Structure 1
Amino acid sequence: MANTSTNMRLRLPITCIVLEVILIILFGVAVEYDHDAGGQDLHKNHSHDPHDHVYENSFYYRYPSFQDVHVMIFIGFGFLMTFLQRYGFSSVGFNFLIAAFSLQWATLMQGFLHSLETGGKIHVGVDSMINADFCTGAVLISFGALLGKTSPVQMLTMAIFEVALFAVNEFILLNVLHAKDAGGSMTIHTFGAYFGLMVTRVLYRPNLDKSDHKKTSVYHSDIFAMIGTLYLWMFWPSFNSAITEYGDAQHRTALNTYFSLAACTLSTYAFSALVNSEGKLDMVHIQNAALAGGVALGTAGEMMITPFGSMIVGFSAGAISVLGYKYLTPFLESKLKIQDTCGIHNLHGMPGILGAVVGAITSFAATKEHYGDGLKDVFPKVMSGTPVSTQAGMQALSLLVTLGIALLGGLIVGFILKLPIYGSPSDSQCFEDDVYWEIPKEEDGCQEMAAVKAVEEAEKLNG
């Protein structure tokens, strides 16, 4: 039976209504279409064909990538979290809710910071849609660490602060330090992971073992989670290349990510069997570590890392991720009191740092000889005379800035979420859909029968 203290009938509706009303007002005051959506530049093409100007619109170049990214956010992330046997509704459903709010709020936060440079209102188009989805991805990564232990109102509150901090960090990295991070190894994965880890550390539950029997998967829940894995795996080349410059850089990013993911998958299978005493594969490793190659190519994807280099990075990311799940996650929980439900440190945190380091090293080797005229698309500052050592230094500094903002921000937000006003579940009700959702009656019956059977078997063993 759900705990009435969660008070879903009031807390969630009021929160959703108030937030959406505020968003609508802000959009009405501050947002307008960009030049490709607003119809202001229809005269810009002087071709005799009156339709030529239509095909110059960024929509036709960016929208296919946006669709892929959107699928990753709502289906990929949502289903990846359905591994918990009694938390599937919440995994997909709250992912949907948090993402829908975050993409609107991110549009405003990112647009506001951009408007500081350009002046005027916030302009929205397909590029802003992609960037808002990227920000949403960071929030959903943090959600993975807190999965099953927090209320939807807590998650929406976290999103308010995290989106704002993400936008600030992204602005510093891309506009102040002029770092390159098209696929978000730093801005998305490292930031989202360490922000979420710090929040879950502050929200540590010493009595979470009361819900340990529900913090497990069953056969069909792991199959559903693999659906998320496969969607993410297939579309990750689009994710990393979505906002890169048209042409060589975008083509190269997709190729590098493609090869990195393939190498990462074989590495994952190999190390999963190696760390198991019986040589069996662990589905947790396959669902998560096989994606680490995409994370690790987020920074260097558009650089001349070569397919050979991409495969080395992917292979290394898979190994690091599997070893993290096997050895580091238990250590973090037992020694540092970090209860990371989805293991985001292994999929996003460590591979994100690896990606940042690879990006710094690769940028140090950037030359006009290797990139040709494409150097201006990947490293415009280097093209204009900035030494590659300076660019590499900015890449390294960007990682430190990201970690600093994520950890400090997560610490502060964690204490905000600790306030007893959000209707979070009790220690014995974590990882349980019934707290927040109407569950089909036959499902209730199956769960009751399974519980009775488990008690009977336990009595037999004790008897």
Structure 2
Amino acid sequence: MRLKLPIICFILEIILIILFGAIVQYNDETDARQWHSNNHSDYENDFYYRYPSFQDVHVMIFIGFGFLMTFLQRYGFSSVGFNFLIAAFALQWATLMQGFFHGLHGGKIHIGVESMINADFCTGSVLISFGAVLGKTSPVQLLVMAMFEVTLFAVNEFILLTLLGTKDAGGSMTIHTFGAYFGLMVTRILYRPNLHKSQDKNSSVYHSDLFAMIGTIYLWMFWPSFNSAITAHGDDQHRTALNTYYSLAACTLATYGMSALTAHDGKLDMVHIQNAALAGGVAAGTAGEMMLTPCGSMIVGFLAGIISVLGYKYLSPILENKLKIQDTCGVHNLHGMPGVLGAIVGAVTAAVATTDVYGKGMDDVFPKVASGEFDATYQGGVQAISLGVTLGIALLGGLIVGFILKLPIFGAPPDTICFEDSIYWEVPGEEAAHDSPMTVVSPEEAKQLNPEAV
């Protein structure tokens, strides 16, 4: 890593700086001359409407996701540290890729607070995939994976949101489903038949699970901001936050109940609480801005908690033993299945939307239905097709990227020392002993130093 990691970090950042200098510029609400050329109050700037949500999303990306993955007993540095590394790269690359597909104006990518939120969304998808390969990949592999995944994410997002007119404000499909199944396919291609040699490290201890709960609580608290961050101002944003709020609450009770129910001794499993309690936020992503109703949101969250716990308890072992998918964090149970559930709920909710329910608000939620371009049933069909498109791009993309990451040049850790910080980090207390000079003495000298030695 002494050469590989610096080379890829420096090359990628230099390329990013050059591209930003060539094609990226402030948008009208960020540029000094453009903003002051119009007669309006400074407090009308989108910054004051979006930045609080951006901050919440940013905390989720760097603290929530980072600490959620610290459950491994000897991989805490890598969980938080590599999360930090790939997030810092991915948000820059996402700004370019999303801007290329969504934000080109006269050959330039215009950026502002909303593009920052969207870049963080894309980064979140990469971090979900990171959870699937956690402990088994080098930082170089992770950066390469992020580079390809961000590009494919932007392509999928463009197809869904721009070409098909899909509604997916909280990203049940574009973020969670895509990230989960992309990561699952990558980890399937990177399957390690001898991973059992590191099995003793692929577990938690008391304090590592406690650290992981920090990530859970941050994610749980800020998920309403995540789902509502880029929805239309006013009732749409308000409704999305409220729907997510109640979905998470119902999901948490379902998680606790199912965790105790599925245990042979009735004790709670911290893995379930850390992860499945968040599934309600994932499942409320697509339909969050729709008229799902508070009761509907609670039903969605309740179902998400149940299927997530069942996934951890029964499905994960099947995926590993039968399909050879070594999903370290169980992203299929937290992001994959709840993401698919959210997409289905979104399709059904869209298909039954009427002007009697939405009134003039139909313009914000389903503009093409409001304009008469197509009816609600067609919109529901578009939502369902979008799920299939997302799964197809994620699985095919993960397949290709997985084979790329298998190249030995990227320095994957051997089977015997996976889930281990010391291969990439200076670990306090271990490095001192590791680096201490050794003195070689003859048997005669040893006897003089210690006469009782045999």
Amino acid at match of 1:229: T
1:397 and 1:225 map into 2 onto residues whose CA distance is 36
Percent identity over the alignment is: 77
Determine the structure 1 residue equivalent to 2:113: 126
Q: Does 1:439 align with 2:427?
A: yes
In structure 2, do the counterparts of structure 1 residues 362 and 443 end up closer, same or farther at CA, with 3 Å as the change threshold? Answer: farther
Q: Does 1:98 align with 2:86?
A: yes
State the 1:120 CA deviation.
2.5
State the 1:443 CA deviation.
8.6
* Matching of residues 64-463 of structure 1 within 5 Å: 64-115=52-103, 118-385=105-372, 386-441=374-429
Determine the structure 1 residue equivalent to 2:11: 18
2:122 and 2:102 map into 1 onto residues whose CA distance is 15
Structure 2 unmatched ranges of 5 or more:
434-454
1:443 and 1:388 map into 2 onto residues whose CA distance is 63
State the 1:115 CA deviation.
4.1
Amino acid at match of 2:36: L
C-alpha offsets along residues 360-413 of structure 1, whole Å, 9 cap, x if unaligned? 000011111111211111100010012111100100000000000000000000
- Please say if residues 174 and 180 of structure 1, whose CA atoms lie closer than 8 Å, have aligned partners that are also in contact: yes
Larger gyration radius, structure 1 or structure 2: 2
More deviation, 368-377/137-146: 368-377
2:225 and 2:263 map into 1 onto residues whose CA distance is 34
Determine the structure 2 residue equivalent to 1:450: none
Determine the structure 2 residue equivalent to 1:455: none
C-alpha offsets along residues 194-223 of structure 1, whole Å, 9 cap, x if unaligned? 000000000000000000000000000000
1:424 and 1:224 map into 2 onto residues whose CA distance is 26
- Please say if residues 32 and 124 of structure 1, whose CA atoms lie closer than 8 Å, have aligned partners that are also in contact: yes
2:199 and 2:376 map into 1 onto residues whose CA distance is 51
2:354 and 2:37 map into 1 onto residues whose CA distance is 39
3-state DSSP of counterpart to 1:67:
helix
State the 1:119 CA deviation.
3.7
- Please say if residues 44 and 53 of structure 1, whose CA atoms lie closer than 8 Å, have aligned partners that are also in contact: no
Amino acid at match of 2:378: T
Determine the structure 2 residue equivalent to 1:30: 23
Q: Does 1:41 align with 2:35?
A: yes
- Please say if residues 264 and 290 of structure 1, whose CA atoms lie closer than 8 Å, have aligned partners that are also in contact: yes
Runs of 4+ in 1 over 2 A off after TM superposition: 442-445
TM-score (norm 2): 0.94
1:53 and 1:175 map into 2 onto residues whose CA distance is 31
2:381 and 2:397 map into 1 onto residues whose CA distance is 24
In structure 2, do the counterparts of structure 1 residues 68 and 115 end up closer, same or farther at CA, with 3 Å as the change threshold? Answer: closer
C-alpha offsets along residues 167-202 of structure 1, whole Å, 9 cap, x if unaligned? 000000000000000000000000000000000000
- Please say if residues 74 and 96 of structure 1, whose CA atoms lie closer than 8 Å, have aligned partners that are also in contact: yes
1:443 and 1:370 map into 2 onto residues whose CA distance is 64
C-alpha offsets along residues 67-117 of structure 1, whole Å, 9 cap, x if unaligned? 00000000000000000000000000000000000000000000011245x
2:35 and 2:226 map into 1 onto residues whose CA distance is 29
- Please say if residues 86 and 214 of structure 1, whose CA atoms lie closer than 8 Å, have aligned partners that are also in contact: yes
1:62 and 1:241 map into 2 onto residues whose CA distance is 10
State the 1:44 CA deviation.
2.4
Q: How many aligned positions are there?
A: 432
Amino acid at match of 1:359: G
3-state DSSP of counterpart to 1:302:
coil
Determine the structure 1 residue equivalent to 2:450: none
C-alpha offsets along residues 257-300 of structure 1, whole Å, 9 cap, x if unaligned? 00000000000000000000100000000000000000000000
State the 1:41 CA deviation.
3.1
1:245 and 1:251 map into 2 onto residues whose CA distance is 9
3-state DSSP of counterpart to 1:41:
helix
3-state DSSP of counterpart to 2:3:
helix
2:116 and 2:90 map into 1 onto residues whose CA distance is 11
